[in-house]
Amino acid sequence: MYRPQITVVDCTIRDGGLMNNSRFSKEFVKAVYRAVCDAGIQVVELGYRNSKKFFSTKEYGETRFCDEDYLRDIVGEKKGETKIAVMMDSHKADAADLLPKAESVVDMVRIATYVKDVDKAIHLENEARKKGYLTTINIMAISQTIEWELDEALQQLNDETGAAAVYIVDSFGSLYSEDMDYYIERYRKHLKNKEIGVHCHNSKQLAFANTIEGIIKEANYLDATIYGIGRAAGNCPLELLLGFLKNPKFDIRPILDVISSHVEPLRSQIQWGSEIIPFMIAGIMNTHPEEAMKLMALPKDDPKRRDYRAFYEKSLEIIEP
């Protein structure tokens, strides 16, 4: 599946940070950054650039904000051709927090939005692009969008932004491959001058398969994380994606090294993956995994934590009142 147009984006720090309030050590972030660069990945997303008006610096770690001084300490001398990205939530970010590109270590701003906030996303994208950044728009919770609202949003994004790509984001990990086909066709109908991206969660163990389906349907921006780390069930594993792609510039060895030295040991502190039953149930139900995450945060000796049937029944009550 070698296709030179494909851009791989590593989201390990940003999406993984949703499991620990973005509290990674600098040593961990530096190790991931070096590994991604050495592997030849085109883009590494080092966290959020969200507003401190919405997030407390006491509650959240440095990768929730990605201040310039922090990023410069992480990056040092930029390695290779890997671009540095940050994500800004359209409803929790302020364009004033972006320096002009010439003064920043950041190359790309990825704007996450719900369909209802697309106007905010357009404003943020326009401001970021004016300041010299590459941009993408990531439409979250795509599995819960209303068709006509999505169509309107896509047309607006086509007409009113210069984003390099617009993403299908399977936030709840509920999509199947035929759903990916449907959304890619829908995106392509409205997006005449933009690439399509895919960001898949693994609640039903389909993140990798759905990313492959995106490749087959010529989506050229692909998100993945090292060892699949990410919110709840996690994401498409970067090492699997690299094993599938035939791009000779990618080298899986640095990724395998950082899994051994840094990412796998995190399992003693953070739990992610589709084998965790409440995360799987949330995907089946097409619901946000926040309740599943609350359940898994209970003490290990709390019987409620392992009462999966009760969690399933409660989830049914939510979606079928």
Taking only the tens place, the pLDDT of each residue in 268-281 is 999 999 999 999 99
Mean pLDDT of 226-232: 98
Closest CA to 99 of 74, 76, 68: 68
User: Around Cβ 315, how many Cβ atoms within 10 Å?
Assistant: 18
Two structure tokens written together for 30: 């530096």
Q: What is the pLDDT of residue 118?
A: 98
On the question of pLDDT at 321 being above 60, the answer is no
Mean pLDDT of 288-308: 96
Torsion, Cα of 27, 29, 30, 35 (10° steps):
120
Mean pLDDT of 254-266: 98
Torsion, Cα of 285, 287, 291, 297 (10° steps):
80
CA distances from 88 to 65, 68, 124, 204 (A): 9, 14, 9, 27
* Alpha-helical segments (H) within 76-219: 118-130, 147-160, 177-190, 207-216
Q: What is the pLDDT of residue 2?
A: 81
Average pLDDT, the chain: 96
Q: Are 21 and 60 in contact (CB under 8 A)?
A: yes
CA distances from 137 to 34, 68, 113, 268 (A): 26, 22, 7, 34
- What is the DSSP pairing of strand 108-113 with strand 43-48? unpaired
DSSP character for 225?
Answer: B
- What percentage of the chain has pLDDT greater than the value 70? 99
Q: What is the pLDDT of residue 292?
A: 97
Q: What is the pLDDT of residue 126?
A: 98
Q: What is the pLDDT of residue 320?
A: 63
**What's the rounded Cα separation, in Å, for the pair 188 and 289?**
29
Cα distance from N-terminal residue to C-terminal residue, the chain: 45
- Per-residue model confidence as pLDDT tens digits over 121-170: 999 999 999 999 999 999 999 999 999 999 999 999 999 999 999 999 99
Mean pLDDT of 304-315: 96
Q: What is the pLDDT of residue 317?
A: 86
- CATH for 7-268 is 3.20.20.70
Q: What is the pLDDT of residue 234?
A: 98
Tell me the pLDDT band of 180, cut-offs 50, 70 and 90. very high
On the question of pLDDT at 6 being above 90, the answer is yes
pTM for the complete prediction? 0.97
CA 112 from chain center: how many Å?
9
Of 29 and 318, more confident: 29
The ranges assigned to domains in the chain are 7-268, 277-319
Q: Are 223 and 236 in contact (CB under 8 A)?
A: yes
Q: What is the pLDDT of residue 1?
A: 61
DSSP character for 134?
Answer: E
The phi and psi torsions of 245 (rounded to 5 degrees) equal -70, 145
User: Around Cβ 86, how many Cβ atoms within 10 Å?
Assistant: 27
Tell me the pLDDT band of 117, cut-offs 50, 70 and 90. very high
- Per-residue model confidence as pLDDT tens digits over 68-113: 999 999 999 887 899 999 999 999 999 999 999 999 999 999 999 9
Residue indicated by tokens 């492959």: 212
Q: Are 145 and 179 in contact (CB under 8 A)?
A: no
Least confident of 38-42, 178-182, 244-248: 244-248
On the question of pLDDT at 319 being above 80, the answer is no
**What's the rounded Cα separation, in Å, for the pair 63 and 29?**
9
Mean pLDDT of 216-243: 98
* Alpha-helical segments (H) within 81-138: 118-130
The phi and psi torsions of 307 (rounded to 5 degrees) equal -90, 75
Q: What is the pLDDT of residue 291?
A: 96
Q: CA neighbours within 13 Å on the CB side: how many for 14?
A: 26
Closest CA to 12 of 294, 270, 291: 270
Mean pLDDT of 299-314: 96
